[in-house]
Amino acid sequence: MDRRQFLKFGSFITVSVASGAGLSACGGGSDGGSALPPASGAWKFPQSVASGDPRADSILLWTRAVPASADNVATVAAGADSAIRLIVTSADNSKALGSNAALNGTTVADVSLPLQAQYDNTVRHKLTGLSANTIYYYQFIAGDNRSNVGRFKTAPAADADVAQLQFAYMTCQDWSLNHWGAMTAIAAENLDFIVHLGDYIYETVGEDFQIGAVESRHDALVLPDGVFKSGTSGAKYANSLADYRYLYKKYRTDTRLQALHERFAFIAIWDDHEFSDDGWQDAQTYDGSFNADGSDLHQTSRRRNANQAWFEFMPADVSLDGANTTFQNIKIYRDFQFGKLMQLVMTDQRLYRSDHIIPESSVNPATGKPLGRIGARYLVPQDLFNSVEAQKMAGAKTIGLDPLTTATILGNTQRQWWMDKMKSATSTWKLWGNEVSLLRMGLNGVDAIATLLAVGAVSGLATSVGSTAAAAGGNFPLAGAIVAGVTAGASATVAQAGAGAIMAAYAASGSTVETQVTAGVKAGLTTAQASIAVAAYTKTYIAGSGIVAATPAVLAATAAQTIAFGYIKPEVQANMANSAFVAASGKKDALAAFFTRFLLNCDQWDGYNSERKALMSHLKTNNIGNVVAMTGDIHSFFAGTVNDDFDAAGGGTPVMVDLVSAGISSDSFFVYLRDAAAALGDIGTLVSYPLAVPVTGLGTVNLNFNLLDYTMGKAAPTVASLLEQTRVQLRGALAAKGVPEAQLDATVTAVLAGLQANSDFNTSLLGLAQQLAGLGNNPWLKYVNTDAQGYTLVTLTPGKMTAQFKQVNKLVGTAAPATLIARTTTAVVSAGSPSVAIS
């Protein structure tokens, strides 16, 4: 057989060897590649073409062809199989890219490929013998019809010096929400390839989080077989092979996704939604869906169907073992070499992971019902998590297993593979295609509640200061000291006497804080009461002594904030549920469970902390540097350092960097937590703030301002940065009100100018955001944007990795916006340093 010989592997993967430049292809695909009769008549390629897993000498090419009269997404009926033709050339066909114009130039491959109904007429063909770092064009021919022209670029040779790589990474493209305009922006980029980090499809239809605005070009999904999540109505999930195939076919009918596949090779991995939301191995974790004994529902057949559909429709150079009857019948973790510049390691974080440390079926002692996702995967008490993880690991060790066997995302085999790959890598950069974030995302509930109660007290304190000042002849510093004393537990009489003594001491020559506190104590105040009274007096006096006289409202607010954050907050922090202010709030029982530290998302690496520490220890011990994770899943942009032990003093030592990309269209992490926190009363203020924005001609636009960013660790805002943060959400809200896109940006600017003078915005909201930022949660997070859709563009050189977080604007009516990119934030990781700079 010649160099274009055709080989057939198990299942339906086919392989051929490129002939090399200068050799003519055999006409009509007559190289003997397939014994099937060639397709004849009218055909079409409803999902276009795709390429994937570019290596220095090979590529995986994909298409699906059906008769022209067939439905685009229906399963192909069993019948006569046939053969189609693949042509590949290195000649420049850029003008034909994305069209069905015939390829020009000398071909390097011309092969006949089997089209089989048992694989839904999909074709997966690996072409080897290619030249490194070379652009190729390809096209399939079925009967009388040609597919669109596709393009791919092979990787540089392993020993090549590479000056620069440019690629994008993307994730989370829910068909049923928002828009896919980001794909149009990606298609316009000059890329070497695309990394897809999973959630290419979503297995559910009509789920609560999928009920929202969506572009009109995405019609409703209808699963062929789907299973109701609960009862006989509502949301359904994919279950059969036909269901999962349908989703891939339907998603791939969008011409914007087709354009990406036509233009760039994909390196793809899956996350959870390719099987089941937050699933592990073959287990689903939907709330209320448990076995009779309370364990998670294992669905081996469903998992196998999901595996097969991914294998059939994703252009990945992996194999499916049809003879393997378990759910682990496919291995998709793999690595790629791009010259001396980059080693890319792609991991599978679903098929081998153990159950969540605290199972969803665990009984909540307060309700007697299973925890479900809240308490098991989200908002998990850290002390409880640490205890249960330690118990599980000890149990595994007792029976002779690796302790991480019951507390793993990667599984023992893949973890060792990852360690070996990282240790043996000789490239400058080691990049990790990592589905779920490695960053610690914690929340100190004690500090959060103390802050919220202090914030909630400001208004009432300001009123008290104002009325007390009126009775004291307009003396706001004195009034502040009196109210401070009363707030700290002094009687009105003692508070007045103490405040008067403090005022006299303050005016005395050589006065110090110590002499003022002493004066207050001599008048009957305790040291704590006198200290807060002195602070309130001093700050209010200074506020009223400026060149521009402060208004009574400002003076009252100054005194109130001093008392709230100088006394109430520390008192709650010290006494927690036993605080007098907690009791006075009338919410002691409701708040009691929140006086602890929480992990926000235990479906991420925070939920497998010991394994994360083992990986970081491996990197640190072996002096493996320039490691950066590219992450998806959480529908947000984050940038930060991954430390060796986040629980150590100071949060540990940085070892690598994690750069997290928002989803293409999926609703943001902020929206998810906003809706979940709505039932938590005041605790919900940690996530969002209702903001009514007056707009001329439109009335009031109601926004839910994102405070989650500040609770998680975003730097304290200014009025200007708070206005800028509001821009994208306000633009979307105005568009939903019917403002034409041509007028949107000017209208947004005008509304923001008015908002700047709004006291609810520039005082109440600003103050709350600043206080939440002051909680100091997660100092390793250098960038936080939890309310975004978009993608990430990477430029990699030997000296640095530059990642541009591209946030897109929201829907305009029922269409993607004409102005796609709302803002670009740049994260830079310099070679030799596990740190990230943001601009």
The pLDDT value recorded for residue 684 is 82
Q: What is the dihedral of CA 291, 296, 299, 300, to 10 degrees?
A: -120
How many Å separate Cα 769 from the centre of its chain?
22
The per-residue pLDDT for 366 is 62
Taking 50 as the threshold, does the pLDDT of residue 380 lie above it? yes
Q: Residue 377: pLDDT above 70? A: yes
Q: What does the pLDDT look like over 115-162, one tens digit per residue?
A: 999 999 999 999 999 999 999 999 999 999 999 999 999 999 999 999
Contact 603, 360 (CB under 8 A): no
Calculate the average pLDDT of the chain. 93
Q: How confident is the model at residue 379 (pLDDT cuts 50, 70, 90)?
A: confident
> Max CA-CA distance within the chain?
106
Closest CA to 807 of 794, 819, 825: 825
The candidate with the shortest Cα–Cα distance to 811, out of 229, 181, 324, 363, is 181
Lowest mean pLDDT among 352-361, 364-373, 387-396: 364-373
pLDDT value of position 7: 37
Q: What is the arithmetic mean of pLDDT over 40-51?
A: 98
Task: Say yes or no to pLDDT of 164 above 90.
Answer: yes
Q: Residues near 224 by Cβ (< 8 Å), separated by ≥ 6?
A: 75, 240, 242, 243, 246
Rounded Cα gap, residues 6 and 422, in angstroms: 35
Cα(325)–Cα(603) distance, integer angstroms: 27
pLDDT at 462: 95
Whether the full predicted model's pTM is greater than 0.85, yes or no, is: yes
Residue pair 498/518 in contact by the 8 Å Cβ criterion: no
The pLDDT of residue 232: 85
Phi and psi based region of residue 626 (left: phi greater than 0; alpha: psi -120 to 50; beta: remaining): left
Q: Evaluate whether the domain defined by 159-353+408-441+604-668+788-839 bears CATH number 3.90.470.20.
A: no
Backbone torsions φ then ψ of 69, nearest 5 degrees? -85, -5
CB atoms within 10 A of CB 74: 14
pLDDT at position 11 is: 46
3 state DSSP class of 43: strand
Q: What contacts 363, CB < 8 A, 6 or more positions away? A: 294, 369, 370, 371
Start-end ranges of CATH 2.60.40.380 in the chain?
Answer: 1-154
CA distance 761 to 688: 13
**122-128, strands of its sheet edge to edge:** 6-8, 13-17, 122-128, 59-64, 49-52, 266-268, 193-196, 165-170, 790-796, 800-808, 821-830, 837-838
What pLDDT was estimated at residue 391? 96
d(CA 637, CA 660): 5
Q: What is the CA radius of gyration of the chain?
A: 31
Distance, CA of 11 to CA of 744 (rounded, Å): 53
Which residues lie below 8 Å from residue 570, measured CB to CB, with a gap of 6+? Answer: 450
CATH of 1-154, one of 2.60.40.380, 3.40.50.1370, 3.40.50.970, 2.30.38.10: 2.60.40.380
Q: With a cut of 90, say whether residue 286 has pLDDT above it.
A: no
The phi and psi torsions of 562 (rounded to 5 degrees) equal -65, -45
Residue 192 bridge partners (DSSP):
none
* Phi, psi (deg, nearest 5) at residue 559: -65, -45
Residues of the chain with CATH 3.60.21.70: 159-353+408-441+604-668+788-839
On the question of pLDDT at 556 being above 80, the answer is: yes
Yes or no: say if 588 and 582 are a contact pair by the CB < 8 Å rule.
yes
DSSP 390-449: HHHHHHHHHTTS-GGGGS-SS-HHHHHHHHHHHHH--SSEEEEEESS--S--EEEHHHHH
Tens digit of each residue's pLDDT (9 = 90 or more) over 9-44: 344 678 999 985 333 223 333 344 678 999 999 999
The answer to whether the CB of 402 falls within 8 A of the CB of 341 is no
pLDDT for res 26: 32
